[in-house]
Amino acid sequence: MIIDRLYDEVRRKGPVCVGLDTSLEYIPEWFRNHFNDIDEVLFQFNKWIIDATLDAVACYKIQIAYYEALGLKGLSAYKKTLDYVRSLGAIAIADIKRGDIAKTAEMYARAHFEGDFESDFITLNPYMGMDTLKPFLSYVRNMEKGIFVLVRTSNEGAKDIQYIKDEKGVRVYARVAEKIHDLSEDYLGQCGYSSIGGVLGCTHIEEAAKLRQDLSHMFMLIPGYGAQGGGAADVAAYLKDGNGGIVNSSRAILLAYKKHEGGEAHFDLYARREALRMKEEILNAAGLPEK
């Protein structure tokens, strides 16, 4: 199953996931001037980042909104980036956060697990109900695909809904986690984790240890590290022996060159350094040696 591949990538390379949330303003001017088309600028920037970090990170998460905002040229870059990641044998997570029902959900599944925008994992929003996930399950079962389902997100507004308590005092996100975990048990890989994982932001660390224990089969996509305020110790609470999750970082890696005078000339090398620094910091916080 796809989760066994991801687990093995984390085992070999550490838990860092590079977020390719690539905005044109992130790209050095000298680099932009080398290309005539927006799609080629975006793709080539991503390619340089991927080439520089391939041996140091577990996977890549491509946030579709950054590409949709630029229309057809942006989506061309999105497709090229997905294709390139997967052509290297690396794992691509399409961060699309879809959440709808019936035939609409079927079309989302087809769009992002087949054809031009095919990826290995996608992110989904379950807050319309568990039936929103059903059209994706056949792909998980039969086509080596995986999903990460929003459980508790890293933004401050997560508390507006996800933290509401039911009549038994249990928060909404905990109920969602329970339902996702129950569903995930039918899709376990040999590694003991499921190809149905959860998104749990590391910026809210209360109950972290309990969640990791209760959600024993849930592989976690962990946003919030770095620019959003989460630290290595926050992240480590959601890992088990340095595995069982991937830690996403976007701006901190893509813009690492801005911390160095003249760094734009070697933006890819500074991205690599930041990914390696992040990996070392997280593994140290988890009490493990650097990989």
d(CA 228, CA 157): 13
Nearest to 290 by CA among 8, 13, 2: 13
The CA-CA-CA angle for residues 172, 174, 177, to 5°, reads 110
Burial of 166 per CB tally in 10 Å (0-12, 13-18, 19+): exposed
Sign of the CA dihedral with 289 first, then 201, 140, and 74 last: negative
Phi, psi of 261, rounded to the nearest 5 degrees: -65, 125
Which residue, 222, 213, 203, is CA-closest to 16?
Answer: 222
- Distance, CA of 7 to CA of 225 (rounded, Å): 20
- Token pair 């799609």 in the structure block, residue: 39
Q: Which residues, in sequence order, are CB contacts of 85 under 8 Å at separation 6+?
A: 50, 60, 62, 91, 92
Please give the Cα distance from 4 to 10 (Å, whole number): 10
Using alpha carbons only, how large is the chain's radius of gyration in Å?
18
- Which residues are 94's β-sheet partners? 62, 122
97 labelled catalytic:
yes
Among the listed residues 47, 73, 97, 291, the single catalytic one is 97
Report the alpha-carbon distance of residue 285 to residue 66 in Å, rounded. 32
CA distance 118 to 128: 24
What is the H or E stretch that residue 139 is in?
helix 134-142
- Positions annotated as catalytic residues are 97
